[in-house]
Chains A and B, each alone.
Chain A
Amino acid sequence: MFKKITMAAAGLAMTFAASSAMADGHMLKIGVEGAYPPFSEKTADGTLVGFDVDIAMALCEKMGKKCELVEQDWDGIIPNLLNKKYDAIIASMSITEERKKKVDFSEKYYNTPSRFVAKEGVDWADTNEGLAGKTVGVQRGTIQHDYLLAVYPDADVKPYGTAEEAYLDIEAGRLDAILVDSLAVDGGFLKTDAGKGFAFFGGDHSDPKYFGDGAGVAVRKGEEELRDAFTKAIQEIRADGTYEKINMKYFDFDIYGG
């Protein structure tokens, strides 16, 4: 009996040792979403690809660490970072005040505005009055969701678990409009077959009060060393052209933003 308990305790101790080694040593686990093309998506054979994924790999290389990607639904992406399922999030996560209460961010690695998308040729204004009574889809728990709830109280806001589900429903005719990051919806929807007949309307939405200062790498609070290592690596890949190479693979202009 006693032996069993000691063995169990030893096993536990080893697990703890292993998990803390993960954070300090050379093995780094990175949480990605995998349902946000072209930033992160899964190919038919299950490999994770996309801008976020390539950036993650480039950053790891610069930091001299081996990285493992962990796929995670958006809904649980911050809780599971705090639960130590992975050590950092590279998932197009915008740096906002609300999120800073929970996690620390590196410097941004890109910054693009959000825009509304609807059927081609609609003449709606992208204001609360213009969208009053319209059904607007958005990904739950995103900056766009908070922005719609705060600034568009008269629109009928439908929250979805992933951006892809919102694309399915606007294509099916269930939504009048969606609000998404302009690049994500451009590459992930408008330029695909499903997005034929849909287009942007209205202007850019990027009020820093809601949209923050661009997308950064999120780490647990108190891990300044890891955070600063990511910031340094971002500056390095900006400087040595790696960033530009990845950028041009997906987009035809520099998405780092001003």
Chain B
Amino acid sequence: MEFIIEYFTLILGDGNWKFWLEGISLTLMFVSLSLLIGGVLSIPLAIARANRHPIFNPMVWSFTYFFRGTPLLVQTYLLYYGLPQFDFVKDSFMWPMLREATWCALIAFTLNTAAYTTEIFRGAIEAVPHGEIEAAKACGMSPFKRMRRIILPSALRISLPAYSNEVIFMLHGSVILGVLPIIDIFGAAKTINSRYYVSFEGFIPCAILYMILVFGITRIFRMLEKRYHAHLRPRTS
């Protein structure tokens, strides 16, 4: 009993609960913002890939290949330590933003998730049943209308399970914030460990918090799948 009290004093006492609160809100903010912006970016990119656009397809392919071909940590470091090497970056109007670790991380995370999501959506667009597109054509829909009304809604549905993995990977990838001077959940754990000279005590609540977040994510996706895959489920009656 005494041990438990001691443990909770260690991880929550002495103002440490503030690190956890800050960590949770920063992790959630970074992950949701990068997923949101990355997701929006990825839709036109995926369409360009799926349509084999002669100019854009190779460009988008190079982009996704780079961001899927290198670790997120390396991408973040390239941005974070690379940019200040150039004086024109430090003199530009962007510097007040790029000087912040938060922006470097957000840019790296967004581009990374955009690359993965582009490929997920591309695969989904290509997997839209041909019959649906034929039917749309037969109804006289223009290519744009076909994309908007038939192909994209169908593709987004198909990509739900794969995308839920991407969301979880992004959450796990966000521990990279903790190696920058940003206090996310992992950073909070490291700060508490180093404040009390312990090696793993702080990682226990850290692991539990990530598990709870993943539980929430899988729940949300289960709901979404239930709703948007309703037409695919076998009839029960």
Binding site for B on A (CB under 8 A): 74-76, 78-80, 82-83, 98-99, 102-103, 137, 140-141, 145-146, 149, 158-161, 165, 168-169, 171-174
- Contacting pair A140 B84 (CB below 8 A): no
Contact of B69 with A by CB under 8 A: no
B118 CB, nearest partner CB in chain A, Å: 31
Contact across chains for B199 and A79 when beta carbons are under 8 A apart:
yes
A80: B residues at CB distance < 8 A: 199
B159 adjacent to chain A (CB < 8 Å): no
A172 and B84 within 8 A (CB): yes
Kindly supply a per-residue 1/0 record for chain B positions 184-204, scoring 1 wherever the CB is within 8 Å of any chain A CB and 0 otherwise.
000100110111111110000
With contact pairs A140-B190, A159-B191 given, residues A83 and B197 touching in the complex (Cβ less than 8 Å): no
Closest to B187 in A: A159
B179 touches A (CB below 8 Å): yes
Whether A75 and B181, one on each chain, are in contact in the complex, defined by CB atoms closer than 8 angstroms, is: no
Which residues of B, 91-108, contact A by the 8 Å Cβ criterion?
95, 99-101
Cβ-defined contact, A173 with B84, below 8 A:
yes
B222 contacts the other chain (Cβ, under 8 Å)? no
Q: Which residues of B contact A165 (CB under 8 A)?
A: 181
Chain A CB count within 10 A is highest, among B81, B95, B187, B196, for B196
Nearest neighbor of A157 in chain B, beta-carbon distance: B181
Residue B90 is within 8 A (CB to CB) of chain A in the complex = yes
Complex CA distance for A146 and B16, rounded to whole angstroms: 12
Name the residue of chain B whose CB is nearest to the CB of A103. Answer: B197
**In the complex, B60 has a CB within 8 A of chain A:** no
**In the complex with contacts A75-B190, A159-B183, A141-B195 CB distance below 8 A:** yes
Judging by beta carbons under 8 Å apart, are A173 and B199 in contact?
A: no
In the complex, the answer to whether B99 meets A174 with C-beta atoms within 8 Å is yes
User: Of B81, B179, B195, B197, which one neighbours A79 at CB under 8 angstroms?
Assistant: B197
Q: Give the most central of B84, B90, B99, B194: most A CB within 10 Å.
A: B194
B100 touches A174 (CB 8 A): yes
* A137 to B99 CA separation, bound complex (whole angstroms): 13
Residues of A within 8 A of B187 (CB): 159
Task: Please name all residues of chain B whose beta carbon is closer than 8 Å to the beta carbon of A140 when the two chains form the complex.
Answer: 190-191, 194
* CB neighbours of B100 from chain A (8 A): 174
CB-CB nearest in chain B for A165: B181
Residue of A nearest to B90 (CB): A173
Q: Could you tell me the distance in whole angstroms from the C-beta of B192 to the nearest C-beta in chain A?
A: 10
Task: For B99, list chain A residues within 8 Å (CB).
Answer: 172-174
- With A174-B84, A174-B101 already in contact, the answer to whether A169 and B199 are too (CB < 8 A) is no
Expressed in whole angstroms, the minimum distance between the Cβ of B181 and any Cβ of chain A is 4
Task: Please report which residues of chain B, range 80-136, place their CB below 8 angstroms from some CB of chain A when the two chains form the complex.
Answer: 81, 84, 90, 95, 99-101
Chain B contacts of A74 at CB under 8 A? Answer: 194
Q: Can you list 24 A-B contacts with CB-CB less than 8 angstroms, sorted by A residue number?
A: A75-B194, A76-B199, A78-B197, A79-B193, A79-B197, A79-B199, A79-B200, A98-B196, A98-B197, A102-B196, A141-B191, A141-B193, A141-B195, A145-B195, A146-B195, A159-B181, A159-B183, A159-B187, A159-B191, A160-B181, A169-B181, A171-B84, A172-B81, A172-B99
| Inter-subunit contact A161/B179 (CB<8 Å) | yes
CA distance A200 to B190 in the complex (A): 29
Is A173's CB under 8 angstroms from B95's CB?
yes
Least CB distance, A159 to chain B, in whole angstroms = 6
Residue of B nearest to A150 (CB): B15
A256 to B191, CA, bound (A): 30
Looking across the interface, which residue of chain B has its beta carbon closest to that of A160?
Answer: B181
Residues from chain A with a CB closer than 8 A to the CB of B191 are 140-141, 159
> Are A141 and B90 in touch, CB under 8 angstroms?
no
A79-B198, A98-B196, A168-B81 are known; give 17 further A-B pairs, CB within 8 A. Answer: A74-B194, A79-B200, A82-B199, A83-B199, A98-B197, A102-B196, A102-B197, A140-B191, A145-B194, A159-B181, A160-B181, A161-B179, A171-B84, A172-B90, A173-B84, A173-B95, A174-B84
How many angstroms from the CA of A78 to the CA of B199 in the assembled complex? 8
How far apart are A168's CB and chain B's nearest CB, in angstroms? Answer: 7
Across-interface contacts of A171 in B (CB, < 8 A): 84
Residue in chain A with minimal CB distance to B98: A174
CA distance A253 to B90 in the complex (A): 38
Chain B residues contacting A161 (CB-CB under 8 Å) are 179
What is the CA–CA distance of A186 and B100 in the complex, to the nearest angstrom? 26
Task: Report how far A75 CA is from B235 CA in the complex, Å.
Answer: 57
